[in-house]
Structure 1
Amino acid sequence: MKRILVLLPALLCIIMCGYAQADSLKNTVYVIDIKQEINSTSWIHVDEGFREAKSLNAKAVYIHMNTYGGMVIYADSIRTKILNSKIPVYVFIDNNAASAGALISVACDSIYMRPGANIGAATVVNQTGEKLPDKYQSYMRATIRSTAEAHGKDTVIVGNDTVIKWFRDPRIAEAMVDESIYIPGIIDTGKVLTFTAQEALDHGYCEGIFENLGQVIQETGNKSAEVVKFTPSFYDGLKGILTSPVLHGILVMLIIGGIYFELQSPGIGFPLAIAVLAAILYFAPLYIDGLAANWEILIFIIGLILVALEIFVIPGFGVAGISGILLVILGLSLSLVGNRNFDFQGVDVSGMVRALLVVVMGMFMGLLGSVWLTKKFWGRGRLAKLSLQSSENAELGFVSFDPELKKLVGKTGVATTVLRPSGRVIINDEYYDAKSEDGFIEKGAAIRVIAQESGQVYVVKTE
């Protein structure tokens, strides 16, 4: 009996450990939705999703896609995240994978599509849908071509010839961007390539056609796996908005505009508060994400101090002002790139150029807009009441002395004090400051006013 009592706890411990081990080995797959325009928010969701999938030891990541595209810079970031992932990544195109969506799909290990879905049309366009110049197309062509090449190739012997067979044909990927590409039996010149689900399957850009994501999960050998779906938090959405390049440009405009308006008005008021709030909204999400370091924010603050010293303390505009402006631009720009302290080896040159363009254009537009608003609203209109619009000149009656003094010229009176040469006189029972024009005048002597200037009368002695 004693032996059973001793063995029972040990047996329970073994059973508990077995359950814990089985639970740790349980299959988990992770699902991330891309069902909106690809922007900063999409990138943050994907980045957070991959981080969570890694923490869960997920067996695979599935991207559930339905998008018409979006911003190339964020599509490129997502593409890079997928290509560098040690976890297999599959994409299920529910309806559309256009433009930037096509680039992301090509990066995935396997592509699955719903009947009626499409993939392609990756030409770079502006916000109005107009095709951008060839330098943008060239970058996109190379990006999507290298993405296709990253999946590798096979060397096939056909008769006496050696044929290279790509798993994802780079020429097909390039034809999704460039209408000048001609591929016999697939696309003619003058047209940008877009595949239907069946066409993608026929030409190696789709591994299967299914009705829903659940079927894709079963097809890829994860039928019994637990499906965990990424659910963005409120902060994820807010961070996506605050890290948008468009908002960064607007915040830079508000920082510069607020400082400019503050310099145009006395004291500390609303414009400076706007500038400070814009600076906080600019740096806070970047600091939390680890992009903006302490020294980068410090550079920005030192730059502002140098500009203030140049304006308020140092006469003219020279080294301090120019250095301050450069430090402000540098602090704002470096906060947008993922450098490690002073190590810039991992920073893409194009990323640094984009950051500089956002900051410089934001500063330029902020300064230009501030000058225009100052002339428009502070020069006339309702807001003109907030500032003094008229000049206080003599013609409008603004003088620093009593105009009645002009009427004293020619009048006579008596010196009430000794004039050496200044003193006091009385004229028509009123006392005035006076100055003698002909030397010493004793008290009680008769005087006559010959002129007045700046609130003082000039007199001479009379008989």
Structure 2
Amino acid sequence: MNRSAIVGVILLTFTLFFPVCLFSQSAKVYVFDLHDEIGPPSWRQTKKAFDHAKELDASTIIIRMNTFGGLVDYADSIRSTILNSSMKTIVFIDNNAASAGALISIACDKIYMKPGASIGAASVVDTKGTVLPEKYQSYMRGLMRATAEAKGRNPRIAEAFVDPDVEIKGVNSKGKVLTLTSKEAIKVGFCAGEVTSVDQIFAAEGLDPQQRVDHQVSVIDHIIVFLISPVVSGFLILLIIGGIYFEMQTPGIGFALLVSVVAAALFFAPLYLEGLAAHWEIGLFLVGLVLLMLEVFVIPGFGVAGILGIICIVGGLALSMVMNDFFDFNVTGSEQLTTAVLIVLFSMVASIVICVILGKSIMKTPVFRRLVLEDEQRSDLGYVSGKQPDDILRKEGFAKTDMRPSGKIEIEGLWYDAIALDGYLEKGTRIYVEKQENYNVFVRKLL
């Protein structure tokens, strides 16, 4: 072999193998799971996974999926993330990809399925499984059709996942929503092949197992998932309202307000991190609190400010629990908003009922008494409201401050915190004590 032939072989070998070696060194393959219901946690996990994969300069991202569906708005957000990604996207359907899971799956470049797995049944239903009105189905059909077209798949098959009236010869019969098995999906070109594990996808796609990076779910992620569950959110709302109620009913107590503030932080923080609670929704809640405080302590009677305050509080809490773009709910729909409002209202009512029923016994417990700031004012000034007031029932005195309706009164040279049952009373108004309940003194105007 002459010198030129040897040089040619060397150059050819270098040309063929050097890019492969270079590629294998940088071609990270990122793997993460989408299990359970599609919702805020899965959307947040998807965002983190794609961001991390991008930081690692991964060439491929594999989604291991097993879900019966979930919320369409979050599925749409995940779908958009996949479609807009420059990385190659592969989904491994490990048993089920129903409803929202089907939408996410057909957004990927390739679909692999486990033998016996299924994909489809993407009609939009409520929490009870009842099919929602046509406007929801129409939106979902459009999403499925557009996603299939974007990935070169048959849009009619994608539409048949949603609409039972779509009939495809040799695939399904009219009147039934389409669901495909793994073998059926391969036959119609929706599935690249059957595999039993992600490792087999690596082999089928020629990916280097040494470059595999598995997504790690942090402790913080688990805590956030726990805190945004409806049951926990409802309990936190109960603590928020209960703390405010105790603080307003029992002067001098700081612990109740602290409980309310901590509960509010635990309620809003995870929802904010999940992209649900926006700044304006948290602001709406705070405005509601301010209006309610003004109504109770500044403005006489109970009117517009108090009603607006309650509406703002309910609105801020409920809107933070559902995805919306400044009252644009898109496919979130009225049902999810209604559910959120009901959770808030039920928690508020339950909180007030519990406070009224248990308030008397709670305030008499030794633990609670240690939390009461009984010496908030100096006794040499005649102020004794920080402790259980003396028996002053039916005694007369006068308003030491304006009462809106709460304020301070003076009876026999001693000051007390009191609440005017007549509403607003001006400073200096003659009063008498009509009743006493625990730490509360209730007075009426002396006629």
TM-score range for the pair, normalised by the shorter chain length: 0.5 to 0.7
Question: 1:367 — aligned with what?
Answer: 348
Q: Deviations over 1:218-267 (max 9, x none)?
A: 32232466111101111122223334566545534543354345545555
What letter corresponds to residue 368 of structure 1 in structure 2?
V
Question: 2:70 — aligned with what?
Answer: 70
Instruction: Note if contact 2:321-2:340 (Cα within 8 Å) is conserved in structure 1.
Output: no
Deviates more, 1:46-55 or 1:210-219: 210-219
Q: Please state whether the residue corresponding to 1:183 is helix, strand or coil.
A: coil
1:283 to 268, 274, 277: 268
**For the residues of structure 2 that align with 1:251 and 1:312, how far apart are their CA atoms?**
25
CA 1:61–1:261: 2 relative to 1, 3 Å: same
Q: Please state whether the residue corresponding to 2:26 is helix, strand or coil.
A: coil
Q: Please state whether the residue corresponding to 1:147 is helix, strand or coil.
A: helix
1:335 Cα deviation after fit? 5.5
CA 1:255–1:142: 2 relative to 1, 3 Å: farther
**For the residues of structure 1 that align with 2:275 and 2:331, how far apart are their CA atoms?**
20
Instruction: Note if contact 1:66-1:95 (Cα within 8 Å) is conserved in structure 2.
Output: yes
Question: 2:194 — aligned with what?
Answer: 209
Question: 1:139 — aligned with what?
Answer: 139
Q: Please state whether the residue corresponding to 1:306 is helix, strand or coil.
A: helix
1:319 Cα deviation after fit? 4.4
If the length of structure 2 is used for normalisation, what is the TM-score? Answer: 0.66
Question: 2:3 — aligned with what?
Answer: none
CA 1:136–1:305: 2 relative to 1, 3 Å: same
Q: Deviations over 1:368-416 (max 9, x none)?
A: 33454467x35xxxx764589xxxxxxxxx9869xxxxxxxxxxxxxxx
What letter corresponds to residue 233 of structure 1 in structure 2?
S
1:233 matched to 2:233? no
**For the residues of structure 2 that align with 1:337 and 1:364, how far apart are their CA atoms?**
15
What letter corresponds to residue 184 of structure 1 in structure 2?
K
**For the residues of structure 2 that align with 1:365 and 1:25, how far apart are their CA atoms?**
57
Q: RMSD between aligned alpha carbons? A: 3.8
What letter corresponds to residue 98 of structure 1 in structure 2?
A
Alignment of 1:159-308 (within 5 A): 167-223=152-208, 226-244=211-229, 247-248=232-233, 250-260=235-245, 262-265=247-250, 267-268=252-253, 272-287=257-272, 297-298=282-283, 300-308=285-293
Instruction: Note if contact 2:318-2:337 (Cα within 8 Å) is conserved in structure 1.
Output: yes
Question: 1:432 — aligned with what?
Answer: none
If the length of structure 1 is used for normalisation, what is the TM-score? Answer: 0.64
Instruction: Note if contact 1:26-1:225 (Cα within 8 Å) is conserved in structure 2.
Output: no
Q: Deviations over 1:260-286 (max 9, x none)?
A: 455455553665444322201122234
CA 1:265–1:141: 2 relative to 1, 3 Å: farther
1:49 Cα deviation after fit? 0.9
Gaps of 5+ in 1: 1-17, 152-166, 389-397, 402-463
What letter corresponds to residue 31 of structure 2 in structure 1?
V
Question: 2:387 — aligned with what?
Answer: none
**For the residues of structure 1 that align with 2:341 and 2:238, how far apart are their CA atoms?**
10
1:31 Cα deviation after fit? 0.6
Q: Please state whether the residue corresponding to 2:207 is helix, strand or coil.
A: coil
**For the residues of structure 2 that align with 1:53 and 1:332, how far apart are their CA atoms?**
34
For these two proteins, the number of residue pairs brought into alignment is 350
**For the residues of structure 2 that align with 1:311 and 1:369, how far apart are their CA atoms?**
21
Instruction: Note if contact 1:260-1:367 (Cα within 8 Å) is conserved in structure 2.
Output: no
Q: Please state whether the residue corresponding to 1:85 is helix, strand or coil.
A: coil
Question: 1:109 — aligned with what?
Answer: 109
Larger radius of gyration: 1
1:290 Cα deviation after fit? 7.1
Identity of counterpart residues, as a percentage? Answer: 48
Alignment of 1:279-428 (within 5 A): 279-287=264-272, 297-298=282-283, 300-325=285-310, 327-328=312-313, 331-332=316-317, 349-350=330-331, 357=338, 360-373=341-354, 377-378=357-358, 385=361
